[in-house]
Amino acid sequence: MGAADAKLRVSEIFHSIQGESTRVGLPTVFVRLTGCPLRCSWCDTEYAFAGGEAMTIPQALERVASHGCPTVCVTGGEPLAQKACPELLAALCDAGYSVSLETSGALDVCGLDARVSRIVDLKAPDSGECEKNRWENLACLNRHDELKLVLASTADYEWAKSLLTARRLDAICPVLFSPVADRLDPTQLAEWIVRDRLPVRFQLQLHKLLWCDTRGR
């Protein structure tokens, strides 16, 4: 199927400030694809599980271009659950955007356009989706990508710390530890990271500090 007729289902396209990853703070256009095969217990984006608008890739590119911003983040839902997502990512790169992808890490990220910065979650036990982690993804990541662990409890933190050491995650790419909003005290997580001298980046969702949980922000 060519770029002109590949179909996407799009939950929303909006212009905001990047609130996550090492790109935090950069004005960014978000393309949120509909649907997700996971059900993380603490997911803040359940509205993207269904609905949305059918779009071709050229239509999506036109909507992105209307915002006049050079940085794009493709997210969801789980963006890679849509067959046309790799083609969308390549088309955005070809159009000259600096592109990141937010993904659960449950699907294969290895064949994607090398210009995309892959932000790959490793789902911790409290998410309820830990067994979906696709460990083969670790082998194809590089310094241009990021690993993210979103933690809801002491047990999640201990799990993440063991994983970091056992798999030398920080040798692969930057690693982010983030608290689940309203579940794990951010100060507590920050103190654990300092106490244990972990080679990770502490992360808070900046957009929630700025706009609470407003949709499209």
Could you tell me the CA-to-CA distances from 70 to 22, 119, 171, 174 in Å, in that order? 16, 18, 29, 23
**Contact pick of 75, 82, 127, 133 for ligand 2KA (by CB under 6 A):** 75
Residues of span 76-135 touching ligand 2KA by CB under 6 A = 102
- Interface pattern 20-49 for ligand 2KA (x via CB under 6 A): x---------x--------------x----
The label of the residue with tokens 């950069």 reads 26
Instruction: State the alpha helices, DSSP H only, in 107-153.
Output: none
For residue 161, which amino acid is it? K
Among ligand 2KA, ligand SF4, ligand SAM, none, what binds residue 74 when CB lies within 5 to 8 Å by partner kind? Answer: none
**CB-count burial class (<10 Å; 0-12, 13-18, 19+) for 17:** middle
Cβ pair 164, 192 in contact under 8 A: no
**Contact pick of 13, 91, 150, 160 for ligand SAM (by CB under 6 A):** 150
**Contact pick of 11, 34, 104, 203 for ligand SF4 (by CB under 6 A):** 104
Interacting residues toward ligand 2KA by CB under 6 A: 16-20, 30, 45, 73, 75, 102, 207, 217
Residue numbers in the known binding site for substrate are 17-19, 32, 75
